[in-house]
Chains A and B, each alone.
Chain A
Amino acid sequence: MLFQVIVNGLLMGGVFALIAVGLTMIHGVMKIVNFAQGDFLAMGLFMTYGLYAFMPEHSMPYWLILPVAAGMYLFGMIVFRFAIKRVLNTGDSNYILLTIGLSFMIQNLLQLIYGADFRSIPVSDTFRMGSWEFLGAMFPISRIVAFAAAAIFVVFVNWFLTKTDIGRAMRATAENRAVAESLGIRGGRVYVTAFAIGTMFAGISGLLISPVQMIFPTAGVPFGLVAMSAMVLGGLGNIKGALLGGLIIGLVESFTSTYVNIALAPVAVNLVLVLVLIFKPYGLLGKRRRTA
Chain B
Amino acid sequence: MKKKWLISAISVVVVLVLALAACAPATQAPAAPAAPAAPAAPAAPAVPAGGGALEPVRFLVFAMMTGPNAESGRQVQMAAKTAEWYINEVLGGFPSLGGRPIHLNVVDSTSDAAQAPMPFEAALQAEDYSVVIGNSNSSIALTQLPIVEAHQIPMITGAAANIAISQQGSSFSFQPAATSRAFIPTQLDFLEYYSGHLGIPVKELRLGLIFADDAWGTDNANNTRQQVKERGLNLVFDQSYNVAAFTDATPLITALMAADVDVLLPSSYPADLSLIFTAMGALNFNPLVVGGGAAMTWPSLYADLGDAVNGLTSVDSWVSDQTGAREHEGWQVMNDWYEEQFGEFIPGQAGPTMFSIMLAYSAIERIGSDDPIAIRDELRVIDETTVDWFKIPNGVGDFDNVTGLNTGARAVMMQWQNGRPTAVFPPEYAASPLLNPDTMKPFE
Residues in A lying within 8 Å of B, measured CB to CB: 1, 4-5, 8-9, 11-12, 46-47, 49-54, 57-58, 67, 71, 74-75, 77-78, 81, 108, 111, 113-122, 125, 128-131, 138, 140-143, 212-214, 216-219, 221-223, 225-226, 253-259, 261-263, 265-266
Using CB atoms, name the residue of chain B closest to A81: B8
**Contact (Cβ within 8 A) A266 B245:** yes
Q: Which of B11, B66, B74 meets A117, CB within 8 Å?
A: B74
Q: How far is the CA of A119 from the CA of B258 in the complex (A)?
A: 31
Q: Which of the listed residues B30, B240, B241 has the most CB atoms from chain A within 10 Å of its own CB?
A: B241
Q: Which of the listed residues B19, B210, B257, B282 has the most CB atoms from chain A within 10 Å of its own CB?
A: B282
9 A-B pairs within 8 Å (CB atoms) are namely A50-B24, A116-B66, A118-B300, A121-B26, A213-B275, A218-B67, A262-B239, A262-B241, A266-B242
Q: Which of B21, B255, B278 meets A258, CB within 8 Å?
A: B255
B200-237 interface with A by 8 A CB criterion: 210, 213
Of the candidate stretches B302-310, B327-335, B376-384, B390-398, the one touching chain A is B302-310
Q: Which of B26, B239, B280, B300 meets A261, CB within 8 Å?
A: B239
A122 neighbours in B (Cβ, 8 Å): 26-30, 306
**Contact (Cβ within 8 A) A50 B22:** yes
B257 neighbours in A (Cβ, 8 Å): 1
Of the candidate stretches B85-93, B175-183, B246-254, B400-408, the one touching chain A is B246-254
Q: How far is the CA of A130 from the CA of B284 in the complex (A)?
A: 9
User: Given the known A-B contacts A8-B254, A115-B35, are A263 and B242 also in contact in the complex, defined by CB atoms under 8 Å?
Assistant: yes
**Contact (Cβ within 8 A) A74 B11:** yes
**Contact (Cβ within 8 A) B303 A226:** no
A75 neighbours in B (Cβ, 8 Å): 15
User: Given the known A-B contacts A74-B14, A122-B28, A222-B246, are A115 and B38 also in contact in the complex, defined by CB atoms under 8 Å?
Assistant: yes
**Contact (Cβ within 8 A) A257 B252:** yes
Against A, the Cβ 8 Å flags (1 = close, 0 = not) of B36-70 are 00100000000000000000000000000111101
Q: Which of B8, B74, B281 meets A129, CB within 8 Å?
A: B281
How many of chain B's residues touch chain A, expressed as a range? 35 or more
Instruction: Confirm or deny: B114 has a beta carbon within 8 angstroms of a beta carbon on chain A.
Output: no
A256 neighbours in B (Cβ, 8 Å): 251
Q: How far is the CA of A21 from the CA of B278 in the complex (A)?
A: 27
Q: Which of A53, A118, A138 meets B71, CB within 8 Å?
A: A118
B294-346 interface with A by 8 A CB criterion: 300, 303-304, 306, 308
CB distance from B153 to the nearest CB of A (A): 27
Instruction: Confirm or deny: B126 has a beta carbon within 8 angstroms of a beta carbon on chain A.
Output: no
Q: How far is the CA of A232 from the CA of B21 in the complex (A)?
A: 36
Q: Which of the listed residues A74, A255, A259 has the most CB atoms from chain B within 10 Å of its own CB?
A: A74
User: Given the known A-B contacts A131-B283, A138-B283, A254-B251, are A67 and B68 also in contact in the complex, defined by CB atoms under 8 Å?
Assistant: no
User: Given the known A-B contacts A117-B71, A222-B245, A262-B239, are A253 and B251 also in contact in the complex, defined by CB atoms under 8 Å?
Assistant: yes
**Contact (Cβ within 8 A) B15 A71:** yes
**Contact (Cβ within 8 A) B251 A218:** no
**Contact (Cβ within 8 A) B303 A120:** yes
Q: How far is the CA of A143 from the CA of B279 in the complex (A)?
A: 10
Q: How far is the CA of A47 from the CA of B17 in the complex (A)?
A: 11
Instruction: Confirm or deny: B150 has a beta carbon within 8 angstroms of a beta carbon on chain A.
Output: no
**Contact (Cβ within 8 A) B244 A221:** yes
CB distance from B8 to the nearest CB of A (A): 6
Using CB atoms, name the residue of chain A closest to B282: A140
**Contact (Cβ within 8 A) B26 A216:** no
Q: How far is the CA of A253 from the CA of B246 in the complex (A)?
A: 10
**Contact (Cβ within 8 A) A117 B284:** no
**Contact (Cβ within 8 A) A78 B12:** yes
CB distance from B232 to the nearest CB of A (A): 25
User: Given the known A-B contacts A120-B303, A263-B213, are A125 and B281 also in contact in the complex, defined by CB atoms under 8 Å?
Assistant: yes
**Contact (Cβ within 8 A) B25 A214:** no
**Contact (Cβ within 8 A) B255 A257:** yes
**Contact (Cβ within 8 A) A117 B241:** no
